[in-house]
């Protein structure tokens, strides 16, 4: 009985706080290069770049992004800029690059583009 009460009163799953993953909110703020796509070779090179590498290292591999996305707070007081690249081999999937200042902060994917 006590265990049942704990389940009812206990913490809610994370998905209830937000019914959509963060990448579902990947809506372009500004289109930079409408023809920009990311090839398999470029994607492979990007995945080999370590987090916290200089932003210039990433930009040496890829051209201008398709668009910029709204910035996100990645942790308290730290905001990341985001840019998006549709995959050449699957345009409905976007590769999203995160930058914190002049550092590469990681990546994410957005899987369903409408």
Q: What is the tens place of the pLDDT at every residue in 27-80?
A: 899 999 999 999 999 999 999 999 999 999 999 999 899 999 999 988 888 999
Domain ranges of the chain: 20-110
> What is the CATH code of the structural domain delimited by 20-110?
3.30.1450.10
What is the pLDDT, as a whole number, of residue 25? 59
Distances 67 to 10, 19, 50, 64, 95 between C-alpha atoms, Å: 41, 25, 23, 8, 11
Residues belonging to the chain: 114
């Amino acid at each position: 009985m006590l265990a049942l009460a704990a389940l009812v009163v206990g913490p809610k799953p994370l998905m209830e706080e937000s019914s959509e993953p963060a990448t579902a909110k990947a809506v372009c703020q500004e289109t930079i290069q409408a023809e920009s796509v990311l090839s398999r070779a470029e994607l492979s090179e990007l995945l080999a770049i370590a987090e916290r590498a200089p932003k210039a290292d990433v930009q040496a591999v890829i051209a201008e992004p398709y668009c910029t996305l709204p910035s996100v707070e990645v942790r308290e007081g730290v905001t990341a800029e985001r840019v998006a690249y549709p995959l050449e081999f699957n345009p409905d999937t976007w590769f999203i690059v995160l930058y914190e200042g002049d550092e590469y902060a990681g990546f994410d994917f957005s899987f369903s583009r409408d």
